[in-house]
Amino acid sequence: MTWFIFSLIATICTAGVRLINQYSKVSGFDLTVANKSILVVLSLPFIFAYGLPEDPLFYCFVLATVPLCLYQDARIFDIAAKYGGGVLTRVTPLHVPIVFVFWMMLSPALFLEYLQTPAVFAVMLACISGCVFFSVRMQNCEVNAAALRDIFPVLFLTAATIILNKLAMDYSPLHAGVYAYIFVQAVCMSGVGLGWIVLKQKRALKSLYAPALMKASLFVAFAILLHLITKNYAFSLVEDPTLPSVILLTAPFFILVFYKLTGHKEKADIWPGIGVVLCVLLLTAVTTL
243 pLDDT higher than 80? no
250 pLDDT higher than 90? no
- Per the structure, the count of domains in the chain is 1
Tens digit of each residue's pLDDT (9 = 90 or more) over 269-280: 999 999 999 998
Highest mean pLDDT among 107-121, 176-190, 271-285: 176-190
Predicted local confidence at residue 109, as pLDDT: 82
Q: In the chain, where does DSSP find H-type helix?
A: 2-24, 28-50, 56-83, 85-91, 95-106, 108-115, 118-137, 142-170, 174-195, 211-236, 242-248, 251-262, 271-287
Percentage of residues in the chain having pLDDT higher than 90: 60
φ/ψ of 53, rounded to 5, equals -60, 155
Give the residue-averaged pLDDT of 142-154: 92
Tens digit of each residue's pLDDT (9 = 90 or more) over 57-93: 999 999 999 999 999 999 999 999 999 999 999 998 8
Provide the domain limits for residue 138.
2-287
Specify whether the CB–CB gap between 146 and 83 falls below 8 A. Answer: yes
